Amino acid sequence: MRHTGAGFGIMILILLFSLTGRAQDEKDKLKLSGQFMTDQRFLLQKPNDWAWNENRLTLKLSKKFADKAKFHSEVWLRNIGLPQYNSMADLYNKGIIDPYNLEIREAYVQLYGFLSKNLDIKIGRQRIAWGTADMLNPTDNLNPYDYEDVLDFGRHRGSDAITLDYYFNADFSLQGVFIPFFQPDNLPVGIFANALIPEYDLPPDIVLDELTDETIRPRYNLAESTTAGTKFRGFAGGIDFSLSYVWGRDGLPFSIYNTFSPNDSLTAINIHSELAFTREHIFGADMATTIGGAGLWAEVAGFLPDHEVIMTNDFSPLFPSLPPVKQDSVVLKKQMYVKFVVGMDYHFANGSYLNFQYLHGYASERGAENLNDYFFITYDMKFFEERLKVMPVAGAFIVSDWKDVNNNYAIIYAPTITYMATDNAEISLSAPLFFGKGNNIFSRLTDYDMLMFRFKYSF
Amino acid sequence: MKRIKLLLISTVLMVQGTMAQDAGEILKKMDEVLYSSKDMMGKNRIVLIDKNGKEKIREAIFKQKGNDKRLFRFTKPASQDGISTLSLPNDVMYLYLPSFGKERRISSGVKSQKFAGTDFTYEDMEAKTFVEKYTGTLLGEEGDLLVLELIPKSPKSGYSKLITKVNKEHYYPVYTEYYDKGGNKIKIAKYTFKKIGKYWNSEVIEMTDLKKNHTTKMIMYDVKYDTGLNDDEFTVRKLKQ
């Protein structure tokens, strides 16, 4: 950790020294821009509970130093969630009555032509977006996933990282990324809180009373907590392509040790889970091109766990008079599993737009046998000089078991209307409806059909 | 009598042949006028005027090298700030959306679409030469203007033909009519050219969509020619900066 810190310190000093020298060439002014957004959702099912309340002020501060360097930051200042007061004491706490948070999404300095004219370096909190697909990117694994809003597909948080890009020429480049410490994914909140938590199968007549857990954090050292990645990008024969590799850690934990203990009641038990984040190698490839006026893309990622993940269920506390009763099961084999996406889009002569993607393996799914199939489609039409956008077809069809589709599927249908009231003010109304059966992320949302209202103002 | 008819027909064919040849030369001269600079850069003010006369303003900066490399970056309004397009040879086009933080290939099918809500299509914005894009026929003269019919060479074009009027002395266009695949006149463009140094610059292009009665004025200013832009300015690396 000390070595890592020293390395970072030296790097920042070099950057600042370099930047100060170059600041004399500064022409561009400090630029403040941003957006205000309010996102309000309520359930269609009576009594029409409020499902989501978010008021977000995005502030972007950026400054260019001629063509030599750039500073950029993006901060979210948010009032998110509904007041959760339960006692008089809570009324003294503004954080409970009026929940808010501050989030630094990005804050970095980028130097162009650092040490060599073909080398760019970016240091600080940054979003490193990989992949050619539209929001659903199996190769986009450097930044932690931000699952907070499960309907905001593909959202990631920024990572504190150093990125180096070396450009061989206009068409070929090599990127190297170093992230010194591990940042896990953050889970859905509000009504989506249980979307990523699989259902438990307990023996009949046994009721789960209390579920507790503890996460095993990787040690903050080079071997345990760092993430490194590299990507070779090219353009040849009319095709953009890249090959990538990441040595990282799965952002969602596996349950590796569950202790079942008795409760005061005879038929109820408590479970205590130990959760760990698995080391993994990720090999990726992607491409994008155009054929016959249509945009086409494909992306594939092979995930190879560093070791087999075994989950131990320890029933010993339930049977104190017997020898230890434990049961092991493999929850993730040390075998490569492959996620991929293929997609296309097309702009019709009448101004309408079609986008279709087939995804095998959602971001939160792990292990070959647990990967589901997703078919996403959107079709939109624009009216009144593009001020009004109507999206009558928007959604997804998900199959979690092809042998029994009737009981293992989900459908998301989210027709949307967007109106640009002015150049900078956008109002949208959407009605996400969920249908489905079985145990997949979106079939767990069937009770949450909702109406979404969003207003955005950019400045 | 037959002899007279044959003579007339052959004369007409000869005249048409001569005019077609003239049209080809005119297109070449137009290209020499419009695409003779090595590179250019400047700013664009785009004024969108609806049928009620209500105006919306967008601003952008652009850089261009030769006739097949162009970088276009919006600076206003705030909702479009930073949105950029990079056009490269062989119909390769990238779009950069700051909110996604990465570039995206744009399909060539987008060419007949309106460019950023204006009355120009991506095809209109192409920096390809007239000779590359059209087969011309000289229809005649109107005062100090030459009238040409231009047929797009690419079957992907959104137009069946263009009728353009060209300044006879300096060979820049002053007026163009655009016809859709059904032969209907759908748009007209008016050009105001001004000489900057040794080059003629289309200072104002006013494009009107006749069906929607909507007009876009594209005003170029702070234009500089031959500043020595190199190919590195027209790369995905630059697009993302």
**Cα–Cα distance between A17 and A193 in angstroms, integer?**
46
- As given in the structure block, the two tokens for residue A266 are 């005879």
**Cα–Cα distance between A81 and B190 in angstroms, integer?**
54
Which residue from A130, A132, A345 is facing B107, i.e. has the nearest CB? Answer: A345
Q: Identify the closest residue of chain B to A71 by CA–CA distance.
A: B241
How does residue B109 score in pLDDT terms, banded at 50, 70 and 90? low
**Cα–Cα distance between A390 and A379 in angstroms, integer?**
9
The C-alpha angle with vertex A430 and arms to A423 and B95, in degrees rounded to 5, equals 50
- For residue A316, how many other CB atoms are within 10 A of its CB? 14
Report, as an integer, the average pLDDT of B6-31: 62
Contact yes or no for A167 and B235 at CB 8 A: yes
Residue among A49, A42, A44 at smallest CA distance from A435: A44
What SS3 state is found at A7?
A: helix
- As given in the structure block, the two tokens for residue A365 are 């799914």
Contact yes or no for A345 and B56 at CB 8 A: no
How does strand A239-249 pair with strand A254-262?
unpaired
Q: Which helix (H) or strand (E) holds B26?
A: helix B2-34
Which residue from A346, A423, A456 is facing B109, i.e. has the nearest CB? Answer: A346
**Cα–Cα distance between A445 and A435 in angstroms, integer?**
8
Alpha helices in A330-443 (DSSP H): none
Contact yes or no for B109 and A426 at CB 8 A: no
Q: How far does B105 lie from chain A, in Å, by closest CA?
A: 7
Q: Give the ipTM.
A: 0.76
For chain A, residues with pLDDT lower than 70 are 1-27, 199-201
Residues in chain B whose beta carbon is closer than 8 A to a beta carbon of chain A?
A: 48, 50, 56, 58, 77-81, 90-92, 100-102, 104-114, 117, 156, 158, 212, 214, 231-232, 234-237, 241
- As given in the structure block, the two tokens for residue A167 are 């450009």
Classify residue B93 as exposed, middle or buried by CB count within 10 Å of its CB (0-12, 13-18, 19+).
Answer: buried
User: Cβ contacts (< 8 Å) between A170 and chain B: which residues?
Assistant: 231-232, 234-237
Instruction: Evaluate whether A142 touches A246 at the Cβ level (below 8 Å).
Output: yes
Which residue from B56, B111, B241 is facing A112, i.e. has the nearest CB? Answer: B241
How does strand A268-276 pair with strand A207-216?
parallel
pLDDT at residue A27, as a whole number: 53
A·B CB contacts under 8 A = 86
pLDDT at residue B68, as a whole number: 82
Exposure on the CB side of residue A450, measured as CA atoms within 13 A: 19
Q: Mean pLDDT lowest for which of A45-49, A441-445, B115-119, B160-164?
A: B115-119
What SS3 state is found at A165?
A: strand
Contact yes or no for B78 and A347 at CB 8 A: no
**Cα–Cα distance between B20 and B17 in angstroms, integer?**
5
Q: List the domains of chain B with CATH numbers.
A: 2-59+108-226 (2.50.20.10)
- Cis before A47 (ω within 30): yes
pLDDT at residue A2, as a whole number: 42
Contact yes or no for A294 and B109 at CB 8 A: yes
Contact yes or no for B113 and A294 at CB 8 A: no
One DSSP character per residue, A201-266 reads ---TT-EEEEEEEEEEPPPSSHHHH-EEEEEEEEEETTEEEEEEEEEEE-SSPEEEEEEEEE-SSS
User: Cβ contacts (< 8 Å) between B108 and chain A: which residues?
Assistant: 290, 293
Instruction: Evaluate whether A73 touches A62 at the Cβ level (below 8 Å).
Output: yes
- Exposure b/e, A126-164, CB count within 10 A at least 16 = b: bbbebbbbbbbbbbbbbbbbbbbbbbebbebbbbbbbbb
- As given in the structure block, the two tokens for residue A430 are 């959407």
What is the 8-class DSSP label of residue A370? G
User: Cβ contacts (< 8 Å) between A286 and chain B: which residues?
Assistant: none
> φ and ψ at B142, to 5 degrees?
-130, 100
Collect contacts of B162-169 with beta carbons under 8 A, ≥24 apart: B162/B134, B163/B139, B166/B26, B166/B30, B167/B193, B168/B141, B168/B144, B169/B144
- For residue A321, how many other CB atoms are within 10 A of its CB? 4
Q: Give me the amino acid identity at A79.
A: N
**Cα–Cα distance between B73 and B96 in angstroms, integer?**
9
The C-alpha angle with vertex A407 and arms to A406 and A413, in degrees rounded to 5, equals 75
pLDDT at residue A23, as a whole number: 44
One DSSP character per residue, A34-59 reads EEEEEEEEEESSTTT-EEEEEEEEEE
Contact yes or no for A423 and B77 at CB 8 A: yes
Instruction: Evaluate whether A456 touches A437 at the Cβ level (below 8 Å).
Output: no
- For residue B130, how many other CB atoms are within 10 A of its CB? 23
**Cα–Cα distance between A442 and A189 in angstroms, integer?**
15
Please name every residue paired with A437 in a beta bridge, in sequence order, or none if there are none.
A409
B107, B208, B211, B234: best mutation site toward chain A, by most A Cβ within 10 Å? B107
Q: Mean pLDDT lowest for which of A100-104, A338-342, B78-82, B152-156?
A: B152-156
**Cα–Cα distance between A48 and A42 in angstroms, integer?**
6
**Cα–Cα distance between B241 and B233 in angstroms, integer?**
10
What SS3 state is found at B7?
A: helix
What is the 8-class DSSP label of residue A139? T
Question: Between the CA of residue B207 and those of A10, A332, B143, B190, B215, what are the distances in Å?
Answer: 56, 61, 23, 7, 6
Contact yes or no for A349 and B158 at CB 8 A: yes
> Does pLDDT of B65 surpass 80?
yes
Instruction: Tell me which residue has tokens 């030459």.
Output: B146
pLDDT at residue B182, as a whole number: 92
Contact yes or no for B79 and A424 at CB 8 A: yes
Contact yes or no for B237 and A165 at CB 8 A: yes
Q: How far does B142 lie from chain A, in Å, by closest CA?
A: 34
- For residue A25, how many other CB atoms are within 10 A of its CB? 11
Contact yes or no for A240 and B105 at CB 8 A: yes
- For residue A66, how many other CB atoms are within 10 A of its CB? 14
Instruction: Tell me which residue has tokens 């320890």.
Output: A314
Report, as an integer, the average pLDDT of B79-86: 91
Backbone torsion region of residue B133, taken as left when φ is above 0, otherwise alpha when ψ lies between -120 and 50, otherwise beta: alpha
Contact yes or no for B231 and A170 at CB 8 A: yes
- How many Å separate Cα A161 from the centre of its chain? 17
